[in-house]
A = this chain, B = another copy of it.
Amino acid sequence: MDELNRKSVDAFKAASKHPIIAVLENVRSAYNVGSVFRTADAFLLEAVYITGYTAHPPHKEIKKTALGAEDTVAWQYFPKTADAIVQLKAEGYAVYAAEQVEQSISLEKFMGDAGHKIAVIFGNEVTGVEQSTIAACDGCIEIPQMGVKHSLNIATAAGVVLWEIVRHTLIRSDLG
């Protein structure tokens, strides 16, 4: 069984991925980090970048919610988000922050461009993405939230935004 799982992990690592990277900046809950790893595995993301004080593997609480996805998904740690953004841009990624600001693009209007590699930064559960990080991004994406609370759980928010981008990729490959 271990052998079998090992093989599927190797096959996963060798498979070509969606050119999408999730960046987690100062995420407080390691459980949320684990859930995002699980989503990144399911949606075949290129990588998860981890910045600031966000927990990174190996980590007991990440393991508990990632259920092994921390072994399949490529990840990289950057103490400073700014350095992650520099690397992403050098690699040809358009970099967006998931944040509610005045100029945010509402998610249903955010169209993944076929030629684009897209990175999305998710920030701290309470304070959101850092101002300096937003300033370095190509733009902000906002999930329309119409209730009293105006905040989704960060792992849920990441799932929603990443799905929206993956969906475009699937529709494009279906058409192509």
Knowing A153-B39, A160-B160, A170-B108 touch, does A146 contact B72 (C-beta < 8 A)? no
Interface size of A by Cβ–Cβ distance < 8 Å? 45
Q: A12-B147, A35-B155, A65-B153 are in contact. List 10 more A-B contacts (CB 8 A).
A: A35-B153, A38-B152, A38-B156, A42-B151, A44-B146, A68-B148, A144-B166, A153-B159, A156-B156, A163-B164
A contact patch SS: helix
Determine whether A67 belongs to the interface, using a CB cutoff of 8 Å to chain B.
yes
How many copies of this protein are present in the complex? Answer: 2
User: Min CB distance, A5 to chain B, in Å?
Assistant: 8
Q: A108-B167, A163-B143 are in contact. Are A9 and B153 (CB under 8 A)?
A: no
Chain B residues lying within 8 Å of A171, measured Cβ to Cβ, are 108
Contacts of A147 in B (CB 8 A): 12, 40-44, 69, 72-73
Nearest 5 CB-CB pairs, A to B? A41-B147, A156-B159, A42-B145, A44-B146, A160-B163
Q: Indicate if A87 sits at the interface (CB-CB under 8 A).
A: no
Chain B hits for A68, CB < 8 A: 148-149
Most B C-beta atoms less than 10 A away, residue of A39, A65, A174: A39
